[in-house]
């Protein structure tokens, strides 16, 4: 049983398309973290949010605490957005994080 579920597992899009990646969780959390992992393995933090919505460039993250659901949107997708996107939650009972299995995104020129 995984506390964090992501969908879809794999996603292929044409350049310019609007992309949505979903994350659902089953535990009480204090914050949710969206991460990007490049083919070499390095991980970059995109957003940390506990309510509402955050935007950075072409990336938008939203969270609905009541429904235990978060979405990551990419507008005007580009081949350089190709990566694995990982959702992680910080439990409200401590300092641990639980991670989803990731969504592998490929954007085709």
Check residue 102 for interaction with another protein (CB under 8 A). yes
Considering only residues 11 through 40, tell me which ones interact with another protein, judged by CB under 8 A: 30-31, 33, 35, 40
- Compute CA 49 distance to the chain's CA centroid, rounded to the nearest angstrom: 11
Cβ atoms within 10 Å, residue 5:
15
3-state class (DSSP) for residue 57 = coil
Site string for another protein, 36-75 (x = CB under 8 A): ----xxxxxx--x-x-------------------------
The least CB distance from residue 53 to another protein, in Å, is 15
Question: What is the Cα–Cα distance from 60 to 46, expressed in whole angstroms?
Answer: 10
By CB under 8 A, is residue 89 in contact with another protein? no
């Amino acid at each position: 049983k995984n506390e964090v579920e992501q969908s879809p597992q794999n996603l292929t899009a044409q350049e310019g398309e609007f992309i949505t990646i979903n994350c659902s969780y089953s535990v009480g959390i204090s914050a949710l973290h969206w991460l990007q992992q490049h083919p070499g393995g390095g991980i970059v933090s995109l957003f940390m949010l506990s309510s509402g919505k955050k935007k950075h460039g072409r990336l938008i993250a939203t969270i609905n605490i009541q429904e235990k659901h978060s979405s990551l949107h990419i507008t005007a997708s580009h081949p350089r957005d190709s990566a694995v996107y990982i959702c992680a939650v910080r439990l409200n009972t401590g300092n641990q994080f639980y991670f989803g299995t990731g969504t592998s995104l490929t954007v085709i020129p």
